[in-house]
Amino acid sequence: MQRGHRFPAPPPCHGPLGRASTTPLRTRAGQKSDATPPPSSQNARHDRSAESAMKGMPNATTRPKRVRRSRRTPRDDDARNELVWRSLESAQQCLLNQDYGTAFVHYLLALNLAPGLKDYARESFRVTLFKWTEELDSLGRVQDLFDCYEQALELFPVDEVIVNSMGEHLFRMGFRDEAAGHFHKALKLRPDFAEAKENFYRAANWLVERWHFLMLNDRRRNQKYRQAIQKAVESGCSTVLDIGTGTGILGMCAKQAGAARVYACELSKTMYELACEVVSANGMNGTIKILHKKSLEMEVPKDIPERVSLVVTETVDAGLFGEGIVESLTHAWKHLLLPPQNPQDPYSSPALTGRVIPAGATVFGMALECSEIRRHHRVCVLEAGGLSLCAMGGVHSPVSCSLDADDSTEPYTTERLSQVPGGYAALTEPFRALDIDFNSVQELEGLCSREGSRFRLPVTRDGMLDALAMWFELHLDKETSLSTGPQEDTCWEQAIYPVQHLSECSLKAGDELLVEVSCKDSCLRIHAIAVVRDGLVTSLDDSASGPVCGQTLGTEAELCSALASLQTGRSGSQHACVLESSEIAMINNVQYHESYSRALEKLLRALRASRGPQGGEGAEPNPLYVLDVSEGFSALPLMAGRQASVKAYSSVEKQRHQTLLRRLAKENGLRPDSLEFWLCRAGEDNRDAASAAPSDSGTTMLQRPSSEQLWSAIVLDCVEICGLLRQKLMEKATLARCLLEDGGRIFPERIVMYGQLVESDALLQESAVQGRELTLGFDIAPFINQFTVPVHVFLDLSTLCCKHLSEPTELFVLDLMNSSANHTSQEVKVCTTSAGRLTAIPFWYQLHLDEEISISTFSAYSHWKQAAVVLQQPVEVSAGEVVCLSIKVHKNSLSITARKGEEPTTDPTHPNS
């Protein structure tokens, strides 16, 4: 639910691409930071001298010179051959000795001297390169690492494995644009290269956010923008700047409307390149000047030769200001636009004055009850799996706009309220929270310095105050507006400000809710301050418990003085702890904890029984060891640690998570030694092992509890919140199996993936620009659709607009206790239950903890979201027809293709074909 973590943000990356979540590549507003490359930029790498290129090599003081000699004598040739063979031999020997750096230097020398041997040595060269760069990576020698790749690519410029692998390093280090380029190239070299394909999709998801498709498919929005631009240009605005041009669409509208000169800027490199392609494909090459720049960095005449008469922009997010429109327009008025029209002179020429589309906006707000928002932002249960959770009281999510919120918090999250699972109830009427005139630089500048405005909202029905929501009407000009409201038929989401006060807040019809709307750090904020009931003001401030300010109110002045005496803002509870909203939803997932608690108890009881009585009277039996390697916060070790003679190990890394677990352990009467933190131990006892693979704590963690002990149970976190299986899951399971005592188990022991055939227009809309028609008459689809990805994540299947064409069907099984295979390839026949256009196959998992107990990742209170494969080509089906699904799981990438039952499969290598 948190912005930047839910759809349309991409899934977090693990495994080969590292843990993207630890690389802060997104700004608060969700903008990509590819405008500011990390320290060692592409150019820096290209500008390097040959000397610095040698830094990547150990024991190397001189670069193998590629001196071209005009004439060679036979003696020279002999000497050269001798050198080549000796180098090759040394390379192989070093490779065997795991001295990869030296092996790499020898290979470079040999193959540069004798290119004819490249094919012969290719495989070993690749292994050497990968091993050596892995080592450089773990030593943090980034520059050296890329030097090696560049040298390797000079030798093997069309080796798709090397190209792809370099892309993986680039991606992990934050050069996402360049990484995507490498994956794309690798795929061009070998179109069926599964790893490169998965990597490309992952990068595409980062680089071109899915809402681009929604916006381009929103015909009404496109037409309204075009109309407003056309009118402005026809009225005389002849020079135009499109800020945040995306695919270039608004700039092209201006040009088409007859603007004399059009400029456009775009901060994302990928989008900038896309805009260049689109503009040129539409025959406007050279007529629109596109800059890869943030508008705030633009100057006249350096970047554009003149001030413009019209700025067009759609740099607005669900919270209106989150893409920085206030700063961009303030800057544009000062540096890029002609002076505004003088109100005293309404007839001044539009060609000599400046104006902005959109001209302004009106923001609306509303209070609401919504159980889905509640369960993601506050702990609602007091007990789970037999554990008391009272110590969780102070936990809150990182979405908060209270006054003392720090950098780690977001002021709002987003939600499409019309589709929120479980629905919502409005507790007040929508109210007009703010009006902003984008044509007034004074208003733009004053926005953040102005005092917050307070509103008294009559409560219209009883309910729990879970959130305040905001949306807006964007006034393109005097006649045309676009609304992002929850009632509209729009693809826009609304900004959600969860109410996170310690005590629940029940409102009653007839109450008055006092809210404050303000603008801080260029973000709109809305904050519930107090409730007025029967003339009594109750503060909603957390520093107070219950009604702090019982004051009878008569006049407005009395209310004001009562409010003034109320402190606003969270004063900070002693026990406050921030958990991700998905972690809070997990705590609230009672069924998940009950299931784990029962399964763990069953297993541990059985193991204890099988060991029989131990030691003498009063002697401590040997403990049973339980390890939970969940990602992020997990209370499961407490469920194990609660039982007699169990030592439970948690792998939570963050200090605040450990503190919270200790507090819970104490509250639940666990003995202090029954809960331990595995990472602290792993750090102390196995420092070498841990530092050898810093990017993969998951597998580093998988070790014996101590040299002479094995685990009784290992809890593996198999499914990411976004709905995909975790990377390297089967490798981890294989490793975990080796560390289990006799009778020990992995939880879950088996995962069954289910899927369902559906017709969903909604999924298509956010997957690619639809239809054969041009977009506003422009050819855009083929370019942006290159960034289409087949797997959609973070879906709420319960509210996805779709028609079911089949029953849920088992697609495949992963046996974590048995198979060592990490890929599966399978054909499944599904019988359709209704006719329709099969466009997508949503999928989810049943996690079997043991024979009897299982958990679904698609249940009413699940903390997991679901995912779906969107088919490249829809398949028309009639009711009762059989559809054959060909499912391939390779490492972590899943692909599903569908064909009608009777059609022969096109894959001759398929085992079932």
Binding residues for ligand 44T (CB under 6 A):
8, 31, 211, 214-215, 243-244, 246, 265-268, 271, 294-296, 314-315, 317, 323-324, 328, 491-493
Q: How far, in Å, CA of 310 to CA of 571, rounded?
A: 46
Structure-token pair, residue 7: 């759809």
β-pair partners for 677? 650
Tokens 């685990």: give the residue. Answer: 711
Q: How far, in Å, CA of 213 to CA of 771, rounded?
A: 12
Give the N- to C-terminal CA distance of the chain in Å, as an integer.
42
Nearer to ligand 44T (CB atom), residue 265 or residue 559 = 265
CB 295, min distance to ligand 44T, A: 4
Which residues, in sequence order, are CB contacts of 130 under 8 Å at separation 6+? Answer: 165
CB 796, min distance to ligand 44T, A: 14
CB 786, min distance to ligand 44T, A: 16
Q: How far, in Å, CA of 340 to CA of 345, rounded?
A: 11
Q: Nearest to ligand 44T by Cβ — which residue?
A: 244
CB 484, min distance to ligand 44T, A: 8
Q: Is 229 left (phi over 0), alpha (psi -120 to 50) or beta?
A: alpha
Give the single-character DSSP code of 573.
-
Nearer to ligand 44T (CB atom), residue 56 or residue 248 = 248
β-pair partners for 713? 626, 745
CB 318, min distance to ligand 44T, A: 6
Nearer to ligand 44T (CB atom), residue 207 or residue 562 = 207
CA-based nearest residue to 755, from 789, 814, 800, 806: 806
Question: Sheet holding 823-831: strands in order across?
Answer: 823-831, 882-890, 893-900
CB 312, min distance to ligand 44T, A: 12
Report in angstroms the alpha-carbon separations of 330 from 31, 134, 295, 349, 608: 19, 47, 11, 22, 70
Report in angstroms the alpha-carbon separations of 44 from 58, 121, 169, 171, 489: 22, 31, 16, 17, 48
CA-based nearest residue to 236, from 143, 348, 161, 134: 348
Query: CB–CB of 587/397 below 8 Å?
Result: no
Nearer to ligand 44T (CB atom), residue 492 or residue 844 = 492
Angle formed at CA 353 by CA 349 and CA 358, multiple of 5 degrees: 115
Structure-token pair, residue 68: 């071209």
CB 32, min distance to ligand 44T, A: 6
Nearer to ligand 44T (CB atom), residue 309 or residue 484 = 484
Nearer to ligand 44T (CB atom), residue 270 or residue 651 = 270
Q: How far, in Å, CA of 476 to CA of 332, rounded?
A: 17
Nearer to ligand 44T (CB atom), residue 4 or residue 535 = 4
Beta strands in 807-852, from DSSP E residues, in sequence order: 809-815, 823-831, 836-848
Tokens 């690519």: give the residue. Answer: 153
Nearer to ligand 44T (CB atom), residue 206 or residue 592 = 206
CB 792, min distance to ligand 44T, A: 13
Q: Is 723 left (phi over 0), alpha (psi -120 to 50) or beta?
A: left
CB 595, min distance to ligand 44T, A: 34
Nearer to ligand 44T (CB atom), residue 108 or residue 249 = 249
Tokens 């054969």: give the residue. Answer: 772
CB 221, min distance to ligand 44T, A: 8
Helix, strand, or coil (residue 61): coil
Nearer to ligand 44T (CB atom), residue 159 or residue 493 = 493
CB 322, min distance to ligand 44T, A: 8
CB 261, min distance to ligand 44T, A: 18
CA-based nearest residue to 705, from 615, 628, 653: 628
Q: What are phi and psi of 363, to 5 degrees?
A: -100, 135
Nearer to ligand 44T (CB atom), residue 265 or residue 392 = 265
Nearer to ligand 44T (CB atom), residue 134 or residue 303 = 303
